[in-house]
Amino acid sequence: MRSGTVAVIGRANAGKSTLVNVMVGEKVAIVSPKPQTTRDRIMGVLTREEHQIVFVDTPGIYRHRNELTDRMMRATENTSKEVDVILFVHDGHAGVSEEDISLMKKYAALGLPMLIAYTKTDIMPKENIPRDAKILYEAGIETDVIPVSARKGRNIALLEREIAALLPEGDKLFPDDVVSDRSEKFMISELMREKILLKYEKEIPHGVAVVVNTFEKRENGAYAIDLDIVCEKRNHKAILIGKQGKALKEVASFARQDMEKFLGAKVFLTVYVKVREDWRDRAGLLKELGYGETE
Ligand SMILES: Nc1nc2c(ncn2[C@@H]2O[C@H](COP(=O)(O)OP(=O)(O)OP(=O)(O)O)[C@@H](O)[C@H]2O)c(=O)[nH]1
Ligand SMILES: [Mg+2]
């Protein structure tokens, strides 16, 4: 059989995590319309009789702004050098810029087998696909481009076959029943962060970290979860909580429903909001909040 690792790389908001979830067939990474949703690499494992593909979802490429984004970009850079295949995800609906071309060239220059998934084809005119393929080809990009839609499931099976064909022969890297390298506790904190990304605007969600303090399964099968939403500024705390706690109640209830779906059990969720001034720029705090170096 063939098996190996695939770095899923691309600009922030391109649709990498959505594509990984669809290919794996389960939600392993959170998704939102805001860039910089993924903060750390997350493995998603797709096991078939004939191959096992280990996707490594990465933080999208974005301007470095603080210690956290710096660390995110290092995670992406390191991942791209430690894998068997690179899957470059491009948002087709955004067109092709000079910057996209230079990024694709940069990753192609690593010399690993590479594919370009040209995604979101469901929300763009069909004729843009051959137009952009031509632009890429004329710019000197020889990598195969596969148009897909993660949302509609278009060409996903084809993409899987193309990736598998590039993997080395070898045994499985993970047992059959494993879909992610991350714990349930990690997914719980990410689901909370996803709802915050969906509900709040601008800097608020980007300045939030979620720390799960208690994650306990009770005898009756229900879970007791107690977590902190850590934000950067006092005025952010006020916005997160909202008038008479309404905003926080809503976002917590939304998160709890998703947690219950994910765990398949009832969840009792307690949420606190805390302020840690400018934590994104403080290396020591990053580690404490779960963003320590993984190497
Ligand atoms: N219409 C459409 N939207 C998509 C598709 N794939 C992803 N999206 C949307 O694009 C947005 C970004 O998706 P993500 O999967 O979070 O993107 P990402 O590349 O992982 O982003 P970062 O983690 O921030 O780098 C979300 O609103 C998705 O719903 C697609 O195939 N079609
Ligand atoms: Mg992502």
φ, ψ for residue 151, nearest 5 deg: -65, -40
Q: Residues 217-229: pLDDT tens digits?
A: 999 999 999 999 9
Return the domain boundaries, the chain. 2-166, 184-288
Domains 2-166 and 184-288 share a fold: no
Atom 2 of ligand 1: nearest residue by CA position: 120
Atom 8 of ligand 1: nearest residue by CA position: 15
Average pLDDT estimate for 47-76: 94
Which residues neighbour ligand 2 (ion) by CB within 5 Å?
A: 16-17, 37-38
Q: Is the torsion defined by CA of 64, 69, 70, 72 positive or negative? A: negative
Q: Residues 252-291: pLDDT tens digits?
A: 999 999 999 999 999 999 999 999 999 999 988 999 999 9
Q: State how far the Cα of 78 lies from the Cα of 63, in Å rounded to an integer.
A: 17
pLDDT of residue 271: 98
Say what angle helices 246-263 and 184-199 make with each other, to 10 degrees: 140
Please say whether the structural domain 184-288 has been given the CATH code 3.30.300.20.
yes
**Cβ(155) – ligand 1 distance below 6 Å:** no
Average pLDDT estimate for 179-192: 97
pTM of the model: 0.97
Atom 4 of ligand 1: nearest residue by CA position: 120
Q: What is the share, in percent, of the chain residues with pLDDT greater than 70?
A: 99
Q: Is the distance from CB of 146 to CB of 159 less than 8 angstroms?
A: yes
Q: Domain 2-166 is of which CATH architecture?
A: 3-Layer(aba) Sandwich (3.40)
Average pLDDT estimate for 128-141: 96
Tell whether the model's pLDDT for residue 295 goes beyond 70: no
Average pLDDT estimate for 162-166: 98
